[in-house]
């Protein structure tokens, strides 16, 4: 039995042992969601597109876990600023997955099999690299992440505010450099290699881990929609 990722004894004013237990439970569930392989033609229907969506989600489940686990490791290593980068990446991944789930819903409801294939193909190979976009056209252009963050903010208050705060820390601005490592008193400047408030980074990472509950909801809803899509497409083919 693996050890929990977060030590439940390291509590703070806002991060109780119960909160830490919930974060650890989420991490463990995400580890269980991982599949080593997916055979693309679905058994029974032979459809490939629903499993293409599941492949996309498998990759992003691993991204979520990577940033949570790496953030915890960086905090333990005394590098909380690196953990802040991981935390911000978790916010971006949550927004991206939830955005795809929202876009899938009307396509699945309309039994638009081709539309689902186009959506997941574009999402899987999306890029912001200019030369790639010049070569392949705007069809491969990734959505602007801030638009996805703002979309999350409409449903989950303070999502954008928390993301912006993290962005200011991970960029070479005051919060992520001088204020992060230095303290100043009259005639003296002192610097802390581990940052002035490493517990803030730990709490922020745990909160981001809790926000993966929204990804869990998106995964569950997407799976329901994919199963219905498969059944509807198979029924239409059987009646034609």
pLDDT (tens digit per residue) in 211-228: 999 999 999 999 999 999
The reply to whether 87 falls in a domain is yes
In a domain, 173, yes or no: no
Give the chain's domain count.
Answer: 1
Nearest to 208 by CA among 101, 100, 99, 88: 88
Q: Is residue 4 part of a domain?
A: no
In a domain, 189, yes or no: no
Residue 107 lies in a domain: yes
Examine residue 10 and state whether it is found in any structural domain, yes or no.
Answer: no
State the residue range of the domain holding 123. 17-151+196-239
d(CA 142, CA 42): 28
72 in any annotated domain: yes
Measured in degrees and rounded to the nearest 5, phi and psi for residue 182 equal -110, 150
Is 65 part of any domain?
yes
What percent of the chain lies above the pLDDT cut of 90? 75
Distance CA 236, CA 79 (A): 56
Integer angstrom CA distances of residue 61 from 15, 54, 219: 24, 10, 10
More confident residue, 80 or 3: 80
Residue 64: pLDDT above 80?
A: yes
Asked if residue 89 has pLDDT above 90, the reply is: yes
Q: What is the distance between the alpha carbons of residues 48 and 41, in angstroms, rounded to a whole number?
A: 5
């Amino acid at each position: 039995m693996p050890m929990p990722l977060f030590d439940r004894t390291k509590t703070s004013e806002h991060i109780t042992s119960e909160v830490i237990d919930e974060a650890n439970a989420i991490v463990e569930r995400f580890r269980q969601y991982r599949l080593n392989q997916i055979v693309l033609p679905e058994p029974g229907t032979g459809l490939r597109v629903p499993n293409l969506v599941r492949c996309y989600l498998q990759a992003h489940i691993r991204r979520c876990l990577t940033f949570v686990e790496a953030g915890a490791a960086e905090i333990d290593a005394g590098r909380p600023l690196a953990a802040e980068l991981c935390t911000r990446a978790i916010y971006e991944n949550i927004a991206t997955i939830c955005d795809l789930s929202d876009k899938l819903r009307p396509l699945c409801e309309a039994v638009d099999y081709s539309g689902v294939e186009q959506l997941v193909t574009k999402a899987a190979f999306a890029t912001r690299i200019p030369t790639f976009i010049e070569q392949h056209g705007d069809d491969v252009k990734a959505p602007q992440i801030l638009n996805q963050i703002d979309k999350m903010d409409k449903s989950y208050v303070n999502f954008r505010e928390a993301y912006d705060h993290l962005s200011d820390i991970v960029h070479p601005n005051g919060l992520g450099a001088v204020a992060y490592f230095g303290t100043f008193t009259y005639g003296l400047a002192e610097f802390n290699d581990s940052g002035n408030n490493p517990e803030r980074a730990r709490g922020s990472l745990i909160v981001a881990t809790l926000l993966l509950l929204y990804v869990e909801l998106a995964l569950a809803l997407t799976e329901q929609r994919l199963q219905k899509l498969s059944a509807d497409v198979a029924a239409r083919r059987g009646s034609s």
